[in-house]
Structure 1
Amino acid sequence: MNWLRFSVLILLNTLLVSCSKFGAQYALAPEQNTFRQSATAVSNKLDILWVVDNSSSMGDDQQNLANNFKSFISSFVLKKYDFQLAVVPTDSYKGAFLGNPDTARFRGKDGTTSPAVSVITPLFENAIEIFQDNVLQGAMGSGDERAFQSMHYSLSSDLNSGFVRENSFLAIIIVSDEDDFSHDSSEAVAEYDNPNLHSISQYVSFLSDLTGSTPSIRRFSVSAMAIFDESCLGANEYGYLGIRYKEMIDATGGILGSICDDFSSTLNAIQNRIAELSTQFYLSREPRQESIVVAVDGTPVPRDLLNGWSYSSESNSIVFHGSYIPAQDSIIKVNFDPLAAK
């Protein structure tokens, strides 16, 4: 769960009963859940894997990503998230067919498997500059892009063990101008009716198992900067619509962003979504939604999907949005009336 210290104060642990001519009446005592946002809490640990297309058409897009990276990382740095960043190309899967496990390694500039820094953390004063180098994977890679298979191959490799940490939130971000066609053979087959095409659900299951997610608490998301409309497709001679990327995004709550749009805005949107999904506070009981009152460091927070808090009935949690996403060491208090007795 997303807290270092968790306490539940129950003002009255029995039902209050009064008699009247109408019979017994019951009232449930209110509850208060108190959380501390800290670097050792689930919500502050982010493991972010970038899967970057390194085919011949992607040089400009890689540079665009590097130039606008500050739009993505600035808020995580400001709020002192405990993040890790790594990069793999969309053809790293090839080692599985070539008997070369080294291709699973996280990469540096131009795809090198032995960069000075392969996992970037806040401990590096020049973290932004390191990422800007590492994301430039070059344009000499395979045109048989398999983002999902490359993600799986890298995250399953012992060479990258420890990257996905216990109780962290895993964010996958794909940058490509072609769709994913992961399948069981080494042959390039860019066909949606390929009987060997891997299903989206098998990759969702892989990520769920890897992160220890449950049906109510998902600890991962997949976002993509790709081609999602005919206008953008027309501007990319060798592109494909990101049909399977969209399916994965819909299944995991990520962000769909176009490589034809402003990279700064898209990266900021992805950053916001990761912060929202990773910073959830799970309540001890199901609340009456109209009774929920939320405060951060003693200041009331409005109920607002864009800039405030919202309640997720699916996970029974409070989710923060916009400028109200708590920084490290914040104290979050949630008062509510429970919906039912224990």
Structure 2
Amino acid sequence: MKFNSTSNKKTILASAVSIAILSGCGGGSSSSDPQPTPVSHALISTIDLPVGNDECVNGGIKVIAGYDENNNDILEDNEYESNQVICNDGTRVEQEEGKEIFEEALVAIAYIAKNDERCASGGQQIFLGLDANSNKLLDHDEISSTEILCSVGADFAPEPIINAITANPAIVSIGGSTVLTATISNLLNTDSVIWQDADGNEITPDDAGSPNVITVTVGDSVGQEVYTLSLVTKDADGNTVVHKKNIVITVAEAPASTQSVVLNTQQVFLPEGYTTSTLTGDVHGSIIYAEPISTSDISSRSIPTPEQTDLAGFVAEKQSLNGDTSSLEMLESSMSAFTTQIFGNVVQTSQAILSNGDVSATYKIKLYQGQKLTELLSTLIEQVALNKVGGSASVLVPSASEIPQENYQLDISVSYNATSDVGVITTTLISDEKIVDYNELIVSTTSEVIKAPTDATLELANDSFVAVDQAASKADFLFVIDNSGSMSDEQTAISKLTQSFSDTFVNSGIDFMVGTITTDSDELRGVGFTNDIVQLEDDFKPGTSGSARERGIYYSELALSSGGTVDLSGYPREGASMSVVIMSDEESQYQRYTNDPEFDPNNNLFVDNGYRVYSLVQPSDARDSQYDDLSTSTFGKTLNIDVTEEYQSFVETMAQNAGAISAGYKLVQATQYQVVSSSIKVTVNGLNVERNALNGWQYYPLSQSIVFSGSAIPVAGANIVMAYQYVK
């Protein structure tokens, strides 16, 4: 469906970027390989919508996009593809038909806080541009136009709100103690803060000057204890208003260093290793630091970062401000807003979808000019954590020890519930030079975050196992290597992949076998499936004289089908997991040259058989790649092919997931409930075993399993007991 424009249309990006979609790239062995065919480039126009308009009662803009079919750099009525309406009140509506064009013509919305010189009541800044590097983010040098929409309506005096309550720890032994800390915004001297236990008895704060902090001692029986915070205030008419929020403490025989952060409707359980700090303003959340700090004052609007802090982040709950309908959409809109405020480049290096639909991703940030950790965190909170347009949050003050850095890593997880329109976002931010010291904490924070409704309770489980011979765990892999001419620039990357695979698997204790095919054939290279590293080095380098018709999914599907080359070779072996690893710098061309049905990433052989797919792809050359889509639907992982420094971690994830599937000890309650991974305690023959990637155990949420490593691998017949909490 096309739509008509009005006289106040403004065409932009008329000569900004021409995007040529190539039907094939690189050298090839077939003379019939297609030649590059340019297509029309995308243009964006805007239309002002006045107050009283049917689409925006309070006014706004309509963003329209289309392809410049006659190449005159003017977006004419018959070239329109789709539109988005963005209103002054924060409402955003996207036309469904033709909306794919907005994957090229990007619209990013950043938020303006109250009292800004541009908008006294706050508002939105709309950024428009073409995604020249195909990273799905509007980088600073891609912005071609901006529009400012100021919020409208009366600016009422803000009511006090309870931003969050934290319990440290959230799981306490019988008769033990825990500290409850509330974050409250807009509190007046005439307001009252009252704590009560489950019986309604009032609890006296530790310090009368800090009524937001109490220490409680739990009872002498296992179970849950509920504590209530009441905030009593007066409304504009003098009526008494009571705001309440509960927090549930679990009393268990085996305590754990798990922190609970109660947000608005959800609570999040953080792993051991964090201390939380207040975060006031228009946000339901809390700052998290990797180093212990003292609690900030209840009414503070200025939060100092503790000295020697290397890693910081936040956990927050918010509604969608952009009409998001999934965790992935909320991630993309959040990162789009953040990226517009960064003077530098932001590149997504990996992304994974968890089995419950949550999404986690890692981004590399390279700034043109160095910033301190706290400064960058402030920008992140302003654009990602706030729960209202024109909102504001605490002012973060850098510590004296902070030094501006140019290179950072941002890890983020998003859990969005479309029914309630509630998303929980957790982030960690750290400079590149410090990543190695905090890698396990980062992973456990953004890939194992457990959230639950605020009224959910924790139950205790004890699972017993008799150890099996872990050396018998089996993992089969099918590698699909792009052998087209464009891969001539990726030979170093292939060598790095080979080295990473060797370093990871040779000492893994996993019985692995690897078969290799190319993107233009299902024929197994070399001797077929092998665990000989020297042979794999040769198999992983098929050259660059293959066809430019890169069809990695098509040929891997063909090889894995009944009667295919993999199947006829006897793989996957009985009891072995099967993982598929695709390495290509071009998009998948599954259907382009055949009459086969269009490939569906959510309904296929890989999904049906539980084959996890991992993709190493080139975002700038694989705009519409189905490789990463397939990784998402099979709970695999995607990595930018150029970020070779992440290959080792990428391969380790493959090994851990594959080994856990075939050799791990699956937690019984994990099949039905969420396990609080930070509460897990493991003993072997009565002796405690530490959580350690090298000589201990690790928990893998995708397979819901515990896997031992190194000297901690139990001998066959040993008695294993795993005690843990789960959300019920």
Question: Is TM-score (shorter-chain normalized) higher than 0.5?
Answer: yes
Partner residue, 1:256: 638
Q: Does 1:119 align with 2:529?
A: yes
**Cα distance change of structure 1 residues 150 and 296 upon mapping to structure 2, 3 Å threshold:** farther
What is the one-letter code of the residue matched to 2:544?
A
The answer on whether the counterparts of 2:461 and 2:726 sit within 8 Å (CA) in structure 1 is: no
The structure 2 residue matched to 1:293, chosen from 681, 694, 699, is 681
Tell me how far apart the structure 2 counterparts of residues 292 and 226 of structure 1 sit (CA, whole Å). Answer: 36
Partner residue, 2:721: 334
The answer on whether the counterparts of 2:513 and 2:530 sit within 8 Å (CA) in structure 1 is: yes
| Equivalent position SS for 2:682 | strand
Q: Does 1:152 align with 2:581?
A: no
The answer on whether the counterparts of 2:697 and 2:707 sit within 8 Å (CA) in structure 1 is: yes
**Cα distance change of structure 1 residues 34 and 285 upon mapping to structure 2, 3 Å threshold:** farther
The answer on whether the counterparts of 1:276 and 1:320 sit within 8 Å (CA) in structure 2 is: no
**Cα distance change of structure 1 residues 300 and 328 upon mapping to structure 2, 3 Å threshold:** closer
| Equivalent position SS for 2:572 | coil
Q: How many residues align?
A: 255
**Cα distance change of structure 1 residues 158 and 227 upon mapping to structure 2, 3 Å threshold:** closer
Partner residue, 1:282: 666
| Equivalent position SS for 1:335 | strand
Q: Does 1:89 align with 2:89?
A: no
**Cα distance change of structure 1 residues 133 and 60 upon mapping to structure 2, 3 Å threshold:** farther
Partner residue, 1:202: 603
Partner residue, 2:140: none
Tell me how far apart the structure 2 counterparts of residues 284 and 29 of structure 1 sit (CA, whole Å). Answer: 8
Tell me how far apart the structure 1 counterparts of residues 497 and 462 of structure 2 sit (CA, whole Å). Answer: 47
Q: String of CA shifts for 1:120-156, please: whole Å, max 9, x gaps.
A: 12xxxxx222111111112121111111111011122
Give 1:254 deviation, angstroms: 1.9
The answer on whether the counterparts of 1:80 and 1:327 sit within 8 Å (CA) in structure 2 is: no
Q: String of CA shifts for 1:149-196, please: whole Å, max 9, x gaps.
A: 110111224443212112211111111011112128537xxxxxxx94
Tell me how far apart the structure 1 counterparts of residues 502 and 713 of structure 2 sit (CA, whole Å). Answer: 14
Alignment of 1:3-42 (within 5 A): 30-40=462-472
| Equivalent position SS for 1:78 | coil
Partner residue, 2:508: 79
Give 1:244 deviation, angstroms: 1.9
**Cα distance change of structure 1 residues 201 and 78 upon mapping to structure 2, 3 Å threshold:** same
| Equivalent position SS for 1:181 | coil
Partner residue, 2:523: 105
Structure having the higher Rg:
2
| Equivalent position SS for 1:87 | strand
Q: TM-score, normalised by structure 1?
A: 0.63
Tell me how far apart the structure 2 counterparts of residues 46 and 325 of structure 1 sit (CA, whole Å). Answer: 21
Tell me how far apart the structure 2 counterparts of residues 325 and 209 of structure 1 sit (CA, whole Å). Answer: 36
Q: String of CA shifts for 1:206-252, please: whole Å, max 9, x gaps.
A: 12444xx4xxxxxx311111113xxxx2xxxxx22364222212222
Name the one with the larger helix percent.
1
**Cα distance change of structure 1 residues 332 and 78 upon mapping to structure 2, 3 Å threshold:** farther
Partner residue, 1:179: 587
What is the one-letter code of the residue matched to 1:282?
K
- Over the residues paired in the alignment, what is the CA RMSD in angstroms? 3.6
Give 1:37 deviation, angstroms: 4.3
Q: Which moved more, 1:143-152 or 1:253-262?
A: 253-262
Give 1:71 deviation, angstroms: 1.5
The structure 1 residue matched to 2:545, chosen from 137, 140, 143, is 140
Q: String of CA shifts for 1:22-70, please: whole Å, max 9, x gaps.
A: xxxxx99954233324233xxx211111101111111342453135412
Partner residue, 1:111: none
Higher relative contact order (CA 8 A, sep 6+): 1
Q: Does 1:226 align with 2:617?
A: yes
Partner residue, 1:57: 486
**Structure 1 portions without partners, runs of 5+:** 1-26, 93-103, 109-116, 122-126, 188-194, 214-219, 234-238
Tell me how far apart the structure 2 counterparts of residues 226 and 29 of structure 1 sit (CA, whole Å). Answer: 41
Partner residue, 2:691: 302
The structure 1 residue matched to 2:578, chosen from 161, 166, 170, is 170
Give 1:300 deviation, angstroms: 1.8
Tell me how far apart the structure 1 counterparts of residues 593 and 539 of structure 2 sit (CA, whole Å). Answer: 29
**Cα distance change of structure 1 residues 165 and 158 upon mapping to structure 2, 3 Å threshold:** same
Give 1:270 deviation, angstroms: 2.5
Give 1:272 deviation, angstroms: 2.6
What is the one-letter code of the residue matched to 1:145?
E
What is the one-letter code of the residue matched to 1:254?
G
Q: String of CA shifts for 1:59-89, please: whole Å, max 9, x gaps.
A: 3424531354122222321133111111111
The answer on whether the counterparts of 1:79 and 1:328 sit within 8 Å (CA) in structure 2 is: no
Tell me how far apart the structure 2 counterparts of residues 177 and 337 of structure 1 sit (CA, whole Å). Answer: 43
Tell me how far apart the structure 1 counterparts of residues 501 and 554 of structure 2 sit (CA, whole Å). Answer: 25
Partner residue, 2:623: 241
**Structure 2 portions without partners, runs of 5+:** 1-458
**Cα distance change of structure 1 residues 180 and 271 upon mapping to structure 2, 3 Å threshold:** same
What is the one-letter code of the residue matched to 1:201?
N
Give 1:90 deviation, angstroms: 0.5
Name the one with the larger strand percent.
2
**Cα distance change of structure 1 residues 167 and 147 upon mapping to structure 2, 3 Å threshold:** same
The answer on whether the counterparts of 1:120 and 1:130 sit within 8 Å (CA) in structure 2 is: yes
Partner residue, 1:15: none
What is the one-letter code of the residue matched to 1:293?
K
What is the one-letter code of the residue matched to 1:166?
E
**Cα distance change of structure 1 residues 60 and 226 upon mapping to structure 2, 3 Å threshold:** same
Partner residue, 2:72: none
The answer on whether the counterparts of 2:551 and 2:589 sit within 8 Å (CA) in structure 1 is: yes
The answer on whether the counterparts of 1:221 and 1:274 sit within 8 Å (CA) in structure 2 is: no
The answer on whether the counterparts of 1:200 and 1:247 sit within 8 Å (CA) in structure 2 is: yes
Tell me how far apart the structure 1 counterparts of residues 603 and 555 of structure 2 sit (CA, whole Å). Answer: 14
**Cα distance change of structure 1 residues 198 and 208 upon mapping to structure 2, 3 Å threshold:** closer
What is the one-letter code of the residue matched to 2:479?
W
What is the one-letter code of the residue matched to 1:120?
T
What is the one-letter code of the residue matched to 2:528?
S
